């Protein structure tokens, strides 16, 4: 018996190199496919765990331009700069006007570009809509208030009580007062 009978078939060195290159290429393709599959799965899990507040927080962190579709057929465009317990602060990129927005009055958040938002985190500040409104009242800021039905009025925010806000509206010499229940307010815009 000859030992050469048990030897593997004789291949050219180029055939072996080509075969090894094919194996390496297939291995890279499988790894890339596994990476894509893992990223898709992670994205699906992120979407499943997403919350409305989490979406707002991610929009703020990524500084995404958004349009908030509000109750009363109002749209508000800008960048979310902070997210509170039940509110967001939106800054208009053109006018720099800041708006305090009640989260429960938001019907939809639309991204201006094709950003895909996901998120499950909590608010980034512990302030509430009522608390921030009270802070504005203490500053006697000139504001435009939009209610959930879409109506609005502008004036100096004089004070905010437990569930009521007083606005001085009209002329400076003889202003009248508007008393708004705070539950009816969806947006408070400052200049």
pLDDT band at 41 (very low <50, low <70, confident <90, very high): low
Whole-model pTM over 0.85: no
**Average pLDDT for residues 75-92, to the nearest whole number?**
95
CA distance 117 to 75: 19
- Please tell me the least confidently modeled range out of 28-32, 65-69, 85-89: 28-32
Tokens coding 145: 């208030």
pLDDT at residue 113, rounded to an integer: 78
Neighbouring CB atoms inside 10 A of 141's CB total 15
Strands in 152-160's sheet, in edge-to-edge order, are: 106-111, 65-70, 74-83, 87-91, 98-102, 185-190, 142-147, 152-160, 164-169, 176-181
For the chain, the residue count is 191
**5, pLDDT greater than 90:** no
Q: Per-residue pLDDT tens for 87-142? A: 999 999 889 999 999 999 999 999 987 778 877 777 778 899 999 999 999 999 99
């Amino acid at each position: 018996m000859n030992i050469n009978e048990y030897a593997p078939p004789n291949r050219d060195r180029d055939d072996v190199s080509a075969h090894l290159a094919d194996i390496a290429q297939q291995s890279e393709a499988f790894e890339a496919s596994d990476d894509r599959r893992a990223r898709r799965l992670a994205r699906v899990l992120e979407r499943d765990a997403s919350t409305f507040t989490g979406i707002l927080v991610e929009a703020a962190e990524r500084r995404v331009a958004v349009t908030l579709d509000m109750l009363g057929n109002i749209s508000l465009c800008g960048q979310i700069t902070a997210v509170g317990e039940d509110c967001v602060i939106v800054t208009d990129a053109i006018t720099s006007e800041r708006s305090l927005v009640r989260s429960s009055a938001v019907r939809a958040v639309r991204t201006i570009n094709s950003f895909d938002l996901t998120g499950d985190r909590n608010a980034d500040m512990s302030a509430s809509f009522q608390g921030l409104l009270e802070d504005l009242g203490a500053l006697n800021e000139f504001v435009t208030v939009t209610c959930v039905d879409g109506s609005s009025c502008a004036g100096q925010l004089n004070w905010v009580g437990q569930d009521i806000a007083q606005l001085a509206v009209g002329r400076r010499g003889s202003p009248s007062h508007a008393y708004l229940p705070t539950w009816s307010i969806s947006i408070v815009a400052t200049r």
